[in-house]
């Protein structure tokens, strides 16, 4: 994946919650474990003022808010805008 222009080779998990009715909003997000926890903390532990672009191979580009970064290298995020459908 590519997160804010930085390339990571990892397994990614995505989730998607559909609308229960037309007035409801859908939501999506995901997480991954980076091979270098130090680089993740260095790059993404600062306060965010804008969503971060994410590129996932075989899917549309999207934007996310990071919800957690841990010393173990795990990164959790919440999507903003459309779900990154397969292309």
- pLDDT digits 0-9 by tens, 46-58: 777 899 999 999 9
- Average pLDDT for residues 60-70, to the nearest whole number? 91
pLDDT tier at 60, thresholds 50, 70, 90 = very high
pTM of structure: 0.85
**Total residues belonging to the chain:** 87
8's CB contacts (< 8 A; 6+ apart) are 1, 2, 32, 34, 35
- Bridge partners of residue 29, in order along the sequence: 15, 78
Percent of the chain with pLDDT over 70: 98
pLDDT at residue 54, as a whole number: 95
């Amino acid at each position: 994946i590519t997160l804010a222009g930085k390339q990571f080779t990892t397994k990614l998990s995505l989730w998607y919650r559909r609308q229960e009715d037309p007035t409801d909003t859908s939501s999506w997000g995901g997480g991954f474990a980076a091979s270098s926890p130090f680089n993740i903390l260095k790059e993404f532990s600062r306060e965010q003022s804008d969503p971060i672009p994410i590129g996932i191979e075989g899917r549309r580009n999207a934007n996310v808010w990071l919800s957690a970064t841990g010393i173990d290298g795990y990164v959790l995020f919440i999507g903003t805008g459309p779900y990154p459908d397969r292309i």
